[in-house]
């Protein structure tokens, strides 16, 4: 157990002193944090090393890894850093309203690549880093599912 | 005798359920409609029967006049309630309902037509002697000189608009031309009408609306105001009644203006007149919505009335009771909207399956929900999950109750705005009642780094959860859950039979 | 500033949760107590912390003054709320709380003492000029001649009684001797005091009670009446406010009598004065309960007040607000109690595990529940599961709402009185408001043969369920359910740590 | 399927015409009855041949048996009818307050045998048929669990 390390956004985090977690509804992941003087309802979802904890309405992604898992993950990240092109994918299913980027364009980090309508709202999809557009996989009027590749940057 | 035998509800989610409940209480058999995405939806389960109206896309289902009229005919309905959104303010729909020999729960099609044109509504209010937000009263041409007298910043708005669409803020004359093109394009795409007009951007300002009920016999009830100043993307998140900013004199002036606007159109059923209120207590007419508002429950809590039941009774020709005409509100009510939106990422909509769903209960708490545990949230539809309302004898007690109710609220599986709302009930400007429409931009802002205390608590939970999972003491959602797969198959099969 | 920092709730179930919610809203940290049977109970989960007070038997836990005072000391509480039942009217408990330097949320011990003696209370009311039910005002001896003037049938009652215990109906002089022996024995066993008295059995009669709040500064608020005439075994099942049987003149007389009774004792905090009302609108004092009533929520709905919050504020010395003193109720509220009892078998208590639990929601509905899905119902404790309350602007609308709410209510695993309540809302004497305390005996009766239509529907369900189960599409509760075993282990371990 | 017979209280019952059952929450046994014009929420619990259906707040025990199960059950019932003594058992856990019957007493069908306090209420336990008391297994002050034998009648 002492082998387990907790990270949030890649930063190691120590558990809160004096607090403990009690499960109330295991099927739904509902529980509470207690410290003898106060209590706070929480929800936990996930499994293995990837957990999402909801406290006071905020979903917090938490990684809990053993030493062995950390070693393996470190290798993955290093491999990813070496790789070149990056695929921009849809984070929500929706309707492509417009595509601002064309193959060959040089785009800056944060530039709007295209606009998706989802949940009655127009969402701009932005470049995750600077680069050159090497592929545009969608066109306006098309409906895309979550995870669908939209654009590739080199 | 019930006012109708069978009533079709041309909507989905929490408002469909709200109308189902009113039908049940009135002895009316409620009929729901569903797209293919909503076969298992709560509003389908709670109705007496449900009619399929098309594929998931709203354009082909909940916005299809033909499909809904067909569903009403098939099911033997004698009236249709449109809810809010979708076809609720469509004159074409109201006409089609009447042409099919059914009763439309709402005002006459002509009223929807004249008020749907925001520019015409502005002119009508002005003619009735009601102050309007400074700006143009005719369609904007391309000549920016028309706007010289308004002053910057200003707002471009679609005449056919609603719900925050087709709006563009313009900060200087130089930005006007581009904004005009964009606003027209957006308005044309959304409403099929590119007409836009301009209003001065008033700030700081509060958004106050007055609830009306009018019967078919010319009687009008003014049922208090609601303060809807807490908005994101020009859409409301929180509403309360009475408004902490409205003093008796201002209230009387607002009510008088609302009466005048109502008297200038051929109105019956439920409507809301929206105003902006500036720091000097001047009010300006914004628009009149001739339908049920999302936030109608706030008025129900302070008046004790059932607005949906009255909508149905009025449509059946029943006159408003004297007691309703002379009603004074009591106590204080606040509503917060639980949305599948990420307040830590600019209120971006989120989607997914709800894994846990616990709503508050007990004294002074009302929840109108459209979903429950295991509901799949689809991106085609509005991300409103539920409305949490509280009532107490004064505003501080209502605020304490809201805080307690939010602490009892637990939603798993998707990011909601619950964290923002929990922050809000501790925010000094909200608690003090001195907020305006700028609250979210100025006080919530965009920087939401996780504080270390919350991170440490999350770490405690995740560490314990992993340990419990490994010792077989808990199987949290996210790993596969027994039963749900079967359930879906069974439900779908039963409905298809 | 909160009136107290930490408050211990010496109770369980729905009323403990009710007090927890009031504490949260007042900024007080709520501490619960639990017997070994209640480690997983909802009231334990919702408090900030919980103290073990003993084994499951109430005598050794919830009725143990020593265990509760110890728990309060350990947890650092500065006040104790007793709820209803258990120790709520025990002068010894109130004294022990004060002796421990804590605040008792209730009246002074002397008041509990004098009103706990029902005979003394009868004499007190009579001295205050309030009509009492005809009967004896001193302890009954063995001489039946004392009862000659009362007339038969009559009721023997325990002077130390409450909650229907130690009561015996006597129909003729010949039956008196045996009944007297039995009543004394039962009273002695239940209360340690065999003193009994006699009252004429009035019928038809309604049970009407008046809600009072009194502060420590001599101010008294009379907060309307409740009609509690629907009872089984002399215990209430349904309450409403206002009473459909009480006209303005009778109401004024009831309120005046309630004021006189209150003035005759050293009373503060919450209390209820109970009366019988005969067909000629004569009222007769029955008893005064100086604690929160189960049915207090009905009054909260029509007044908009939070009675539990006021109990706590009053105990902290806060004076009643002027607005409370001059409060007029609005609308109509009805409460029905969901009990684990079999109405088809003389309301015999049932036990078991709750497999399904769906409570109604939406406009005008309040649910105060003490259990949820997977709660094990123990026979040691009161079978009250939840109180379902509705509010609407008039009685017919409240009745329609109650019917709708009951149709939304689903409880699986144990027989409840829900079927009786659903019958009741269609019963002409209840709907018409003309019922009296004889309703259940006369109209519900004891013959509950299953009608063939209901049987056929049940057959449809069971046949479909077996077929679905065999094709693997459903696994209904009753077969083993995954997860629950783990859950229990995890919960218990966490609490024991 | 046509092989299945439904009984309530030992009497065969035909399913309701025009109604069908839809499951809503399989884990909790929640569903509804629909007939195209009306709907009614119901709960179903149980398994194999023994089901409990809750409609409008009333729990109804329903037996659903195949031909084979009916044959086997018939044999059981016949065997039970031949058997002599009957055990009276506790239907609720509780505290024995008093015992009215003694060994050797002849009791009538419906006579009070003893009194149990459960759920704060005194419950009389009555004789299921006439007979002679051949065994009294409990005494006042004793706590009993559900199903505990209390008295045997011959």
If you measure CA to CA, which chain B residue comes closest to C329?
B330
The answer to the question of residue C426 being in a domain is yes
Determine contact: B381 vs chain A, CB below 8 A.
yes
pLDDT at A118: 72
Using DSSP's 3-state secondary structure scheme, residue B410 falls into strand
Q: How far apart are CA B286 and CA B122, in angstroms?
A: 7
Phi, psi dihedrals of residue C495, rounded to the nearest 5°:
-75, -30
Residues 459-478 of C with CB under 8 A from D: 459-469, 473-478
Q: How confident is the model at residue D79 (pLDDT cuts 50, 70, 90)?
A: low
Q: How far apart are CA D152 and CA D154, in angstroms?
A: 7
φ, ψ for residue C4, nearest 5 deg: -140, 160
What spatial distance separates the first Cα and last Cα of chain A, rounded to whole Å? 42
Q: Across the interface, do C483 and B468 touch by the CB < 8 Å criterion?
A: no
| Whole-number pLDDT of residue C488 | 33
pLDDT digits (tens, 9 = 90+) for B359-407: 999 999 999 999 999 999 988 899 999 999 999 999 999 999 999 999 9
In this predicted structure, what is the pLDDT of residue D117? 78
Helix residue spans in chain D (DSSP H): 67-82
Q: Across chain C, what does the average pLDDT equal?
A: 92
Indicate the range of C368-382, C434-448, C467-481 predicted with least confidence: C467-481
Contact A101, A113 (CB under 8 A): yes
Contact in structure between D134 and D153 (CB atoms under 8 Å): yes
Q: Which pLDDT belongs to residue C202?
A: 94
Shared domain for C481 and C373, answered yes or no, is yes
**pLDDT-derived band at D94, boundaries 50, 70, 90:** confident
C137: left (phi over 0), alpha (psi -120 to 50) or beta: alpha
Q: Are residues B149 and B264 in the same domain?
A: no
Interchain pair B297, C486: CB under 8 A: no
Q: Are residues B486 and B356 in the same domain?
A: yes
Q: Of chain B residues 267-326, which have a CB less than 8 A from chain C? A: 297, 300, 304-306, 308-309, 323
Q: Are residues B161 and B300 in the same domain?
A: no
Q: C468 contacts in D (CB within 8 Å)?
A: 23
In terms of CA atoms, which chain C residue is nearest residue B358? Answer: C372
B414 and B375 co-located in one domain: yes
Domain boundary among B176, B200, B224: B200
Give the pLDDT of residue C191. Answer: 84
Q: Which residues of chain B lie closer than 8 angstroms to D25, CB-CB?
A: 487
CB of B56 within 8 Å of a chain A CB? The answer is no
Closest CA to B388 of B413, B353, B355, B425: B425
Cβ contact A21–C49 (<8 Å):
no
In this structure, how many other beta carbons lie within 10 angstroms of the beta carbon of residue D121? 20
Q: What is the CATH number of the domain that holds C233?
A: 3.30.470.20
Q: What angle do CA B305, B307, B309 make, to 5 degrees?
A: 100
Dihedral class, residue B118 (left if φ above 0, else alpha if ψ from -120 to 50, else beta): alpha
Distance separating alpha carbons of residues C26 and C313, to the nearest angstrom: 9
Interface test with A, best of C7, C71, C371, C494 (most A CBs within 10 A): C494
Q: B289 near B89, Cβ under 8 Å? A: yes
Residue C449 contacts D where some CB pair is shorter than 8 Å: no
> How far apart are alpha carbons C462 and C476 in whole angstroms?
11
pLDDT value at position C140? Answer: 87
Q: B231 touching D, CB under 8 A?
A: no
B to D CB pairs, distance under 8 Å: 35
List the structure tokens of C100: 């421990």
| C164/A13 Cα distance (integer angstroms) | 59
Show which of residues 23-42 on chain C sit within 8 Å of chain B, judged by CB atoms. Answer: 24-27
Residue B119 included in any domain: no
Residue B476 has a pLDDT of 63
Considering the domain architecture, whether residues C145 and C244 belong to the same structural domain is answered as no
C36 touches chain D (CB under 8 A): no
B350 lies in the same domain as B446? yes
Q: Shortest CB distance from B418 goes to which of A1, A6, A57?
A: A57
Q: Which of B15, B223, B304 to mutate to test the interface with C (most CBs of C within 10 A)?
A: B304
Q: Tell me whether residues C497 and A20 touch, CB distance under 8 A.
A: yes
In B, which residues are within 8 Å of D37 by CB distance? 29, 48-49
Chain C residues lying within 8 Å of B363, measured CB to CB:
18, 21-22, 297, 300, 306, 308, 366, 368
C-beta atoms surrounding C280 within 10 Å: 5
Percent of residues, chain A, with pLDDT higher than 70: 90
Q: According to the model, what pLDDT value does residue D81 have?
A: 54
Q: Is the pLDDT of residue C483 over 60?
A: no
Give dist(CA C367, CA B443) in Å, integer.
36
Q: Cβ of B474 and C490 within 8 Å? A: yes
Is the ipTM here above 0.90? Answer: no
- Chain A residues in contact with chain C using a Cβ-Cβ cutoff of 8 Å: 20-27, 32, 34, 36-39
Residue A120 has pLDDT above 80, yes or no: no
Please check whether residue C398 lies inside any domain of the structure.
yes
Is the pLDDT assigned to residue C454 strictly greater than 60? yes
As a whole number of angstroms, the longest Cα–Cα distance in chain A is 61
B299 lies in the same domain as B356 = no
Pairwise CA distance, residues C367 & C371, whole Å: 11
B90 cis-preceded (ω within 30 degrees of 0): no
Does the distance separating the beta carbons of D21 and B487 come in below 8 Å?
no
Show the low-confidence residues of chain B (pLDDT under 50).
479-497
First to last CA, chain D: 42
Residue C124 placed within a domain: no
DSSP B236-283: EEEEEES-TT--HHHHHHHHHHHHHHHHTS---EEEEEEEEEETTS-E
Residue-averaged pLDDT of chain A: 86
Q: How many CB atoms lie within 10 A of CB A40?
A: 16
CATH code, domain with C87: 3.40.50.20
A45, pLDDT greater than 70: yes
Same-domain pairing of C165 and C313: no
Residue C9 and residue C16 in contact, taking contact as beta carbons nearer than 8 Å: yes
Residue B386 and residue B338 in one domain: yes
Separation CA C10–CA C18 (nearest Å):
12
Give pLDDT, residue B382: 92
Q: Which of B268, B151, B281 is nearest to B215 (CA)?
A: B268
> Residue C452 corresponds to which tokens in the numbers above?
């063939």
- Write down which chains contact chain A via at least 3 CB pairs under 8 A: B, C
Contact criterion met (CB < 8 Å) for C483 and A27 = yes
In a domain, C74, yes or no: yes
**What's the CATH code of the domain at B192?**
3.30.1490.20
Under the banding of pLDDT at 50, 70 and 90, the label for residue A76 is low
Whole-number Å distance between alpha carbons of B341 and C490: 33
Number of domains chain B is built from: 4
pLDDT of residue B440: 96
CB B385 within 8 A of CB B358: no
- Cis status, amide bond into B153, omega within 30 of 0: yes
- DSSP letter at B444? I
Q: How far apart are the first and last CA of chain C?
A: 34
Q: Residue C441: inside a domain, yes or no?
A: yes
pLDDT tens string B345-372: 999 999 899 999 999 999 999 999 999 9
Q: Is the pLDDT of residue C288 over 60?
A: yes
Reduced 3-state DSSP string for chain C: CCCCCEEEECCCHHHHHHHHHHHHHHCCEEEEEEEHHHCCCHHHHHCCEEEEEECCCHHHCCCCHHHHHHHHHHHCCCEEECCCCCCCCCHHHHHHHHHCCCEECCCCHHHHHHHHCHHHHHHHHHHCCCCECCECCCCCCCCHHHHCCCCCCEEEEECCCCCCCCCEEECCHHHHHHHHHHHHHHHHHHHCCCCEEEEECCCCEEEEEEEEEECCCCCEEEEEEEEEEEEECCEEEEEEECCCCCCHHHHHHHHHHHHHHHHCCCCCEEEEEEEEEECCCCEEEEEEECCCCCCHHHHHHHHCCCHHHHHHHHHCCCCCCHHHHCCCCCCEEEEEEEECEEHHHCCEECCEECCEEECCCCCCEEEEECCCCCCEECCCCCCEEEEEEEEECCHHHHHHHHHHHHHHCEEECCCCCHHHHHHHCCCHHHHHCCCCCCHHHHHHCCCCCCCHHHHHHHHHHHHHHHHHHHCCCCCCEEECCCCHHHHHHHHHHHHHC
What CATH number labels A86-153? 2.40.50.100
- Indicate if the pLDDT at residue C484 is higher than 60: no
Over residues D17-29, the mean pLDDT reads: 94
Give the gap in angstroms from C-alpha C169 to the nearest C-alpha of chain D: 16
What local confidence, expressed as pLDDT, does residue B144 receive? 67
CATH 2.40.50.100 domain range(s) in chain A: 86-153
Q: What is the largest CA-CA distance in chain D?
A: 61
For residue C445, the tally of other CB atoms under 10 A from its CB is 8
The confidence score (pLDDT) of residue A119 equals: 64
Q: Do B490 and C483 lie within an 8 Å CB cutoff?
A: no
- Chain C residues with beta carbon closer than 8 angstroms to that of D94: 379
Q: Do A39 and C483 touch (CB under 8 A)?
A: no
C116 domain residue, yes or no: no
Domain span at B309: 210-330
pLDDT at position D140, please?
86
Q: How high is the pLDDT of residue A67?
A: 85
């Amino acid at each position: 157990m002492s082998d387990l390390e907790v990270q949030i956004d890649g930063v190691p985090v120590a558990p809160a002193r004096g607090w403990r977690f009690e499960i109330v509804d295991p099927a739904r992941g509902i529980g509470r944090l207690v410290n003898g003087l106060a209590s706070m309802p929480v929800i936990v979802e996930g499994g293995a090393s990837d957990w999402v904890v909801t406290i006071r309405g905020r979903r917090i992604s938490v990684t809990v890894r053993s030493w062995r898992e950390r070693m393996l993950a470190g290798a993955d990240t290093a491999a990813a850093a070496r790789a070149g092109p990056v695929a921009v994918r849809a984070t929500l299913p929706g309707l492509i309203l417009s595509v601002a980027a064309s193959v060959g364009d040089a785009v800056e980090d944060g530039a709007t690549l295209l606009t998706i309508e989802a949940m009655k709202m127009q969402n701009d999809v932005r470049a995750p880093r600077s680069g050159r557009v090497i592929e545009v996989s969608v066109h306006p009027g098309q409906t895309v599912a979550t995870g669908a590749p939209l654009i590739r940057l080199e | 005798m019930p006012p109708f035998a069978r009533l079709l509800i041309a909507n989905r989610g929490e408002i469909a359920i709200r109308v189902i409940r009113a039908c049940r209480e009135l002895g009316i058999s409620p009929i729901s409609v569903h797209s293919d995405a909503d076969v298992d939806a709560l509003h389908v389960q709670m109705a007496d029967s449900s009619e399929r109206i098309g594929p998931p896309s709203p354009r082909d289902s909940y916005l299809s006049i033909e499909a809904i009229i067909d569903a009403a005919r098939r099911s033997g309905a004698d009236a249709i309630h449109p809810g809010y959104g979708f076809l609720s303010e469509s004159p074409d729909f109201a006409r089609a309902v009447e042409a099919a020999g059914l009763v439309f729960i709402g005002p006459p099609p002509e009223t929807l037509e004249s008020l749907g044109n925001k520019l015409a509504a502005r002119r009508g209010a002005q003619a009735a002697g009601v102050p309007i937000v400074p700006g143009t009263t005719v369609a904007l041409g391309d000549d920016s000189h028309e706007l010289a007298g308004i002053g910057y910043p200003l707002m471009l708005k679609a005449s056919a608009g609603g719900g925050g669409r087709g709006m563009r803020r313009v900060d200087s004359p130089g930005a006007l031309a581009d904004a005009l093109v964009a606003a027209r394009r957006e308005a044309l795409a959304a409403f099929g009408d590119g007409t836009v007009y301009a209003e001065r951007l008033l700030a700081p300002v509060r958004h106050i609306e007055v609830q009306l009920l009018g019967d078919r016999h010319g009687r009008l009830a003014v049922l208090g105001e609601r303060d809807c100043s807490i908005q994101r993307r020009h859409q409301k998140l929180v509403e309360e009644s009475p408004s902490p900013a409205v003093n008796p004199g201002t209230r009387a002036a607002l009510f008088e203006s609302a009466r005048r606007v109502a008297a200038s159109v051929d109105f019956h059923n439920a409507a809301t007149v929206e105003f902006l209120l500036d720091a000097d207590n001047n009010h300006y007419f914004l628009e009149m919505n001739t339908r049920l508002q999302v936030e109608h429950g706030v008025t129900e809590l302070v008046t004790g009335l059932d607005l949906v039941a009255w909508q149905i009774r009025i449509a059946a020709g029943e006159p408003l009771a004297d007691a309703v005409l002379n009603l004074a509100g009591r106590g204080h009510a606040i509503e917060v909207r639980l949305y599948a939106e990420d307040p830590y990422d600019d209120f971006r909509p989120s989607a997914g399956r709800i894994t846990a769903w616990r709503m508050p209960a007990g004294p002074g708490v009302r929840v109108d929900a459209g979903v429950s545990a295991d509901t799949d949230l689809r991106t085609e539809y509005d991300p409103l999950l539920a409305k949490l309302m509280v009532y107490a004898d004064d505003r501080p007690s209502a605020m304490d109750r809201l805080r307690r109710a939010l602490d009892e609220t637990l939603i798993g599986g998707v990011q909601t705005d619950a964290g923002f709302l929990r922050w809000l009930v501790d925010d000094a400007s909200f608690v003090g009642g001195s907020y305006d429409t700028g609250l979210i931009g100025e006080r919530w802002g965009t920087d939401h780094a996780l504080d270390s205390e919350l991170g440490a608590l999350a770490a405690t939970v995740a560490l314990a959860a992993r340990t419990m999972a490994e010792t077989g003491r808990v199987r949290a959602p996210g790993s596969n859950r027994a039963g749900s797969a079967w359930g879906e198959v069974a439900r779908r099969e039963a409905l298809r039979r």
